[in-house]
């Protein structure tokens, strides 16, 4: 595996683990806001992000590359409202999508077809990730300042498998 690709994939591992850290921080915040369903949703999301990181980790090793774990930035710890936390989650997913697309561009330029193939999974996953994040934002917008509605949204989010 070319060094350029290895470095870029290592960066992406860091971003995916940071995503896990960010969503776990959101989960803790939501728990404190007495929204256990929303907190659970974010906790599951955090675990998925760690799996995303591991997919790239495995790919690097399978290709004879080397993983270098870097330090993680501290995530935000509090938000002004549950809606603002979910808005930040959407912004973050848009940022991750851009990062995946940049990797696709790099792998194409470097003619690394195996990495391109691995990245296709992420391209599809990001469509789903953004759609879910958008749906959550819309749900929270609709129930802003309606405690009863907020309770219903929390119950709905608790259903995530
Ligand atoms: Fe791994 Fe939510 O992107």
CA of 76 to the centre of ligand 1 (A): 17
Range of 103's domain? 3-157
The enclosing domain of 64 has a CATH number of 1.20.1260.10
Task: Report the pLDDT value the prediction gives residue 147, as an integer from 0 to 100.
Answer: 84
Task: Report the pLDDT value the prediction gives residue 37, as an integer from 0 to 100.
Answer: 98
Low-confidence stretches of the chain (pLDDT beneath 70): none
User: Which pLDDT tens digit goes with each residue over 55-73?
Assistant: 999 999 999 999 999 999 9
Task: Report the pLDDT value the prediction gives residue 144, as an integer from 0 to 100.
Answer: 86
| Shortest-distance Cα residue to atom 1 of ligand 1 | 49
Task: Report the pLDDT value the prediction gives residue 109, as an integer from 0 to 100.
Answer: 98
User: Is this prediction's pTM over 0.85?
Assistant: yes
Instruction: Tell whether ligand 1 has an atom less than 6 A from the beta carbon of residue 49.
Output: yes
CA distance to 37, 50, 74, 94, per residue, from 131 (Å): 19, 20, 26, 10
Q: Report which ligand 1 atom has the smallest distance to the Cα of 49.
A: 1
Contacts 24+ apart (CB under 8 A), 56-59: 56/9, 56/12, 56/13, 56/16, 56/118, 57/13, 59/9, 59/114, 59/115, 59/118
Domain total in the chain? 1
């Amino acid at each position: 595996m070319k060094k350029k690709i290895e470095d870029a994939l290592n960066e992406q591992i860091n971003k995916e683990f940071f995503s896990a850290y960010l969503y776990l921080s959101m989960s803790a915040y939501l728990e404190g806001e007495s929204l256990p369903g929303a907190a659970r949703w974010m906790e599951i999301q955090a675990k998925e992000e760690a799996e995303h990181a591991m997919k790239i980790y495995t790919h690097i090793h399978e290709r004879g590359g080397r993983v270098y774990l870097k330090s993680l930035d501290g995530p935000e710890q509090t938000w002004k409202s549950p809606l603002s936390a979910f808005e930040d989650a959407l912004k973050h997913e848009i940022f991750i999508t851009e990062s995946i697309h940049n990797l696709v561009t790099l792998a194409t330029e470097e003619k690394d077809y195996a990495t391109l193939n691995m990245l296709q999974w992420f391209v599809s996953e990001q469509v789903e990730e953004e759609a879910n994040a958008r749906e959550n934002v819309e749900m929270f917008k609709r129930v802003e300042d309606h405690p009863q509605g907020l309770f219903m949204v929390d119950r709905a989010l608790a259903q995530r498998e």
